[in-house]
A and B are shown apart, each in its own frame.
Chain A
Amino acid sequence: MSSLATAEPQRTKGPGLGSLLGRGRKPKKDVRRRIGEKAFTPYLFIAPHFILFSVFIVFPFFLGIWISLHDSTALRDGPFVGLRWYTQLFDPENRTQFPRFWNSVWNTMIFVLISVPLLVSAGLALASLLNQRLRGRNFFRGIYFVPWTLSVSVVSLVWWWMFNGNAGFITLLLQNLLGESPNWLASNPGAWITIIVATLWWTIGFNTIIFLAGMQGISLDLYEAASIDGANKWQQFRAITLPSLRPILLLVVTLQVIASFQLVGQPQLITGGGPPSELGGETTSVLLHIVNTGFFGRRELSLAAAMALIVAAIMVIVSIVNFRLFSSERS
């Protein structure tokens, strides 16, 4: 979805993150420095990675704030302008930046609200389907996961072609069955449907295997007791599977919200952000708007940096709310 470094903050919240913090797991036996060992030895071990980390992650963190307070483009470093970009982006009177930016935020919110429930429930459904006594379970699991291994640009081109108005598979199918087909890519809701189907196809497999791994950890005794009490499959799912999966559900929902927020490749390659509107495109996601502002056309780096920081703040807030919602639901 984006570069390794930039995507990783989202990619790495594995199920083991809590234990990754490793509090209180200091190797006690090794506390003292070994005889003859130089004090700088451990620093030599961490140096190669830590230098790269400092230059390409820590420094850019501050550089991004600095750029957002200046008036720079990709071609020249401009003067200090204080909070100018932030006030423009938050000023409803502003006729250019304000409506375009918030239009893209709105588009992204809609995508998050539709894609997250869809991807989470579809993942749950497929995992439940696979979590049964059946032959070829690994085979099906393997197939459902195939698209996840592809690049977002391959995935986007696949669905760009499937829904293409010129002899695309789905267009032809509908023309043969119904006599006509909507122009999927150039009008809505077709454009959004295409983007959502592409995203489903690409990432359902991930949610499925995470849920399946969680379901495999639930004791069969619980189901046995429930079925002795006469609970049917659906009741067992509601009363046993879902509550047992709660921590994993929280993980998947959080990861999914963050991933959906960073939608960019699909609209960029499938719809080009269109169909066009006076606000700059009906499927232009906020990340696509930032990329178009900062790296294409006039390449207004400072403006893009300010937008990115606002979006980052929104994402952190949404993650916190999401966490609160899930943990309070329990009590």
Chain B
Amino acid sequence: MATTLDRGLKGDQPTELKVAGAPRRGRLGRVLLYLLLVVVAIFFLLPLVVVFSASLKFSAEILTDTGIIPRDPGFENYQALFARAEFVEWFRTSAIVSTLGTAITIIITSLSAYAFARIDFPFKNLLFGLLITTLVLPGVMFLVPQFKLIGDLGLYDTLPAFALPGLAGVFGVFFMRQFFLGLPVELEEAAYVDGASRLRTFTSIALPLAGPALATLAVITFLAFWNDYLWPTIVCQNNCPLPAGLRLLQRQYTGDPGLVMAGAAVAAIPVLLLYLLLQRYIVQSVASSGIKG
């Protein structure tokens, strides 16, 4: 999918990409097409602009100064947020859970995927079938028992609580196994002939070749951890990740939307920056893996 996605997207040479036989669109049609594209783009961008603008208006300003460009912009809301120990804690929690969660996911899923792709062992198909089966089960049925389990383990409101069910997810195993199956086995056999162990073959041959797939998995996993909302909302009280913390912020400051919007902006900015840097790459990753948020 990722390869077909870019077919014809790179070059804009009219002669090559001309849809054969179709009459060339008139000048007016061209203008209307771009006008439509721009209007749609405004629909997607304007709300973000409005929210960032609101976050720069302090306290009552938001009710009196209603323009998109703030009359007296300032970072008072952000200062007020980061002056609260709780908010700093939320940010820290999100950062730790997302980075550590992503790192651990990559390690354990690629190890498992490698065994499923390359080694033959008893019960392999049975175990892999078990992983597949959980894919068709709706997530809603796991909320209550996972909550109960986390509570019984004494992990309520702690960092591991936010990450553990995500780490148990099977997407990474499927994704990496698929990639390893596509690698030519000859390189690894050569390593084996040279006396390398399975683990050695995995770390020094297969993993380096899997760089692009690992990067895709890392980006998708990071986004999923950073944005996760419902599960942390259920198992956190004070020590929440940011998206769950935003709910508490909204309840506490209903009358101060500027502050709430600053909180939303803080949760949004890291992923927006990541997206700005890796835009085409992220779009292709999602298109190729078909992950629904």
Contact = CB atoms under 8 A, between A and B. Distances in A.
Interface string A196-222: 000001110110011011001100100
Contact of B189 (A13, A25, A29, A43): A29
A268 B247 contact: yes
A53 B131 contact: yes
Contact of B246 (A2, A9, A157, A224): A157
A45 B115 contact: yes
Given A49-B173, A61-B142, A158-B47, A151 B228 contact: yes
A1 B290 contact: no
Contacts, number: 427
B209 interface: no
A10 B138 contact: yes
Interface stretch (B69-77, B80-88, B143-151): B143-151
B91 interface: no
A162 B120 CA distance: 56
B215 interface: no
B143 A45 contact: no
A4 B225 contact: yes
Contact of B17 (A2, A64, A133, A305): A133
Nearest to A198: B47
Interface in A77-118: none
A69 interface: no
Q: Is the interface of A mostly helix, strand, loop or mixed?
A: helix
A251 B132 CA distance: 17
Contact of A3 (B124, B189, B230): B230
Given A11-B291, A14-B288, A312-B138, A216 B144 contact: no
Interface string A153-166: 11001111110101
A48 B113 CA distance: 11
Contacts of A32: 120
A233 to B, nearest CB: 8
Contact of A64 (B1, B62, B145, B275): B145
Interface residues of A, number: 134
A69 to B, nearest CB: 12
A171 B5 CA distance: 40
Nearest to A205: B44
Interface in B220-265: 221, 223-234, 242-244, 246-247, 250, 257, 260-261, 263-264
B272 interface: yes
Contacts of A206: 286, 292-293
Given A58-B130, A150-B271, A152-B229, A140 B37 contact: yes
A137 B117 CA distance: 37
Nearest to A60: B145
A46 B111 contact: yes
Given A12-B135, A12-B171, A153-B244, A161 B257 contact: yes
B43 to A, nearest CB: 7
Contacts of B289: 12, 14
A1 B63 contact: no
A147 B48 CA distance: 9
Contact of A150 (B18, B149, B168, B227): B227
Given A14-B289, A21-B132, 17 more contacts: A4-B231, A9-B135, A17-B135, A27-B118, A27-B181, A31-B120, A49-B173, A64-B145, A129-B40, A151-B242, A152-B229, A154-B264, A201-B43, A217-B4, A227-B22, A256-B292, A269-B250
25 contacts: A4-B224, A9-B135, A14-B289, A15-B290, A30-B185, A42-B115, A46-B112, A49-B111, A49-B167, A63-B149, A129-B33, A145-B286, A146-B275, A159-B47, A161-B54, A162-B47, A201-B47, A203-B292, A213-B5, A216-B5, A220-B19, A291-B143, A305-B144, A311-B140, A316-B136
